[in-house]
Chains A and B, each alone.
Chain A
Amino acid sequence: MSLEKQDVIKIAHLARLSLDDSDAEQYQQSLSSVLDLVEQMQSVDTDGVEPLSNPLEAKQRLREDIVTEENRREAFLANAPQTEAGLFLVPKVID
């Protein structure tokens, strides 16, 4: 299965990845070859086979609804590219 360049641009947008023109052509080829590789799945009869998402088929555990974390605001903000007044700073969202 081969992708059009427009498909790649759309996928990159959904994945929030910037893409220049030459990248788009390169990915068009490399993504298409991965999709070709996985295409052989479609010839396998999986009717009545349930999807397996957890290899142990374990269910998610529930825990008590209590606070387990202490407040470590400074430690977590220390890794942020930009902070102000104890908050993460991002480019202006609303005019």
Chain B
Amino acid sequence: MIDQSIASLAKKLRDKEISSVELTQDYLARIKQYDGQLNSYITITEEIALAQAEAADKQLAQGAASPLTGLPIAHKDLFCTDGILTTCASKMLHNFVPPYESTVTGRMLASGTVTLGKTNMDEFAMGSSNEKSYYGAVKNPWNLDKVPGGSSGGSAAAVAAGLCVAATGTDTGGSIRQPASFCGITGLKPTYGRVSRFGMIAYASSLDQAGPMARSAEDCAHILQSIAGFDANDSTSAEVDTEDYTANLDAPLTGLTIGLPKEYFGDGLNNDVASAIQEAVKEFEKLGATVKDISLPNLNLSIPSYYVIAPSEASSNLSRFDGVRYGYRCEEPKDLMDMYKRSRGEAFGKEVQKRIMVGTYALSEGYYDAYYLKAQRIRRLIKEDFVKAFEEVDVIMGPVAPTTAFGIGAKTDDPIAMYLEDIYTLSVNLAGIPAMSVPAGFADGMPVGLQIMGNYFSEAKLLNVAHKFQQATDWHTKNPSLVEGA
């Protein structure tokens, strides 16, 4: 059961081959058996899951099911879930039980999904390795000595290990795509504004976007269908109609033009990763696509631009954590200032404090123009590179990350090296375009992700391109031994 698609599980539920309660019990048993090693969940909501599964079985019996009804899924612990602990993997929110539901989780509930629990992540989504969680590092199911990527590392590890059918993630600078790549699953970061940010604990509001992490592009399409669309509660939600994301998955790729930016294949890219990506591109040529060499000349500037804009917005967003209305408060504050400083200093991790301070500095008097505005001007140059490229090509392809998953602890002493790992993903968030990570082979036994980037609101096209690749290859069906043993 564990490695089946959403469509096939949905059919089994409809045909009464299995009930949602049975399926949910299977997943809960797997979580108990394996998550001690992986640490992919922060909270397991067993009772809630079983009650939701019972309700789903009733809906299925009445013939009123959506394609997701009764399917056990997990949510990144950054989405507010009404009545369920939501920590953002921080001591700051170790006791926070939201009194309201995020739009993403609310729409998934309305589609009849069963919530198995909340997944681990880098604290406040700041990290690329999932080592920076207050609840401990997550392990990569393909090799327990390696990181799963981040910040949505718990979601990626849980999907890869068969500890949920699919999961939600969020992507501010690569936090869906890079862990999807490292764990050998499929992930989609939609166009900025495609999915509501309401009830997502904010990191960098002009970059944050939620999306699906699953076993295939087809599965991602089903989840996106549930969560995408305008939401009046998010002031930057796009007033653009959604598409039927599963309708054209099988459309032929004849005539598709793929752009290969030379900047994605330069120094720093691991040779084995490069080979896997080149093989994948050949597969697309067999499917009728043509390849064109292009350039995104400002790619290198995405790192400085991002590491000013994201911390600046974080510095502003995280000012809400003041020990007054929710979250951690220090013991016996002597006055208001002491309470603010010690509550924040004691409850935020070091990486979070560092990014807050970078942002505070960049926004402070005398530096705002040289840092924040400069970064935003460069952001426009990066966007224009993509706009120009999409005049010539339909999609852009390259690696998601320069290497496969690295060892736990390997980069903790060199945070800048960790930032440089994000080189292929950051520009997508700065431009606001959609992009996917699709399993495309292995290097040294670890999964390699192919990145497919598309024009604004071209999610249906991206899913079509990824799905056709997955019909022609079987990389996405490979499982770590944890799953094979099931």
Known: A34-B307, A37-B303, A37-B304. A90 touches B354 (CB 8 A): no
Residues of B within 8 A of A8 (CB): 357
- Tell me which residues across on chain B come within 8 A of A60, comparing CB atoms: 235
Given A19-B345, A50-B377, A61-B235: A91 and B334 interface contact (C-beta under 8 Å): yes
Contact of A27 among B323, B333, B357 (CB under 8 A): B357
Interface string of B318-338 (1 = CB under 8 A from A): 010011111111000111111
Least Cβ–Cβ distance between B420 and chain A, in angstroms: 8
- Chain A contact residues: helix, strand, loop or mixed: loop
In the A-B complex, the 9 residue pairs with the smallest Cβ-Cβ separation, listed nearest first, are: A55-B432, A18-B345, A51-B376, A81-B329, A46-B377, A75-B99, A79-B326, A52-B380, A38-B304
Main secondary structure of the interface of B (DSSP, over half): helix
Residues in chain A within 8 A of chain B (CB atoms): 7-8, 11-19, 26-27, 30-31, 33-35, 37-42, 44, 46, 49-56, 58, 60-61, 63, 72, 75-76, 78-82, 88, 90-93
Q: Specify which chain A residues have a CB less than 8 angstroms from the CB of B357 in the assembled complex.
A: 8, 11-12, 15, 17, 27, 31
Complex Cα distance, B9 from A49, in Å, reads: 51
* Set B206, B340, B350, B374: member contacting A53, Cβ < 8 A: B206
Closest residue of chain A to B429 (Cβ to Cβ) is A55
User: Are the CB atoms of A91 and B360 closer together than 8 Å?
Assistant: no
Q: Shortest Cβ distance from B146 into chain A, in angstroms?
A: 24
In the complex, A16 Cα to B301 Cα: how many Å? 30
> For the complex, what is the distance from the CA of A33 to the CA of B433, rounded to whole Å?
29
CB closest chain-A residue, reference B345: A18
Q: A11-B361, A18-B341, A55-B431 are in contact. Are A46 and B381 (CB under 8 A)?
A: yes
Q: What's the minimum C-beta distance from A29 to chain B, rounded to whole angstroms?
A: 10
Bound state CA distance, A34 and B314, in angstroms? 15
A76 proximity list for chain B (CB < 8 A): 99, 325
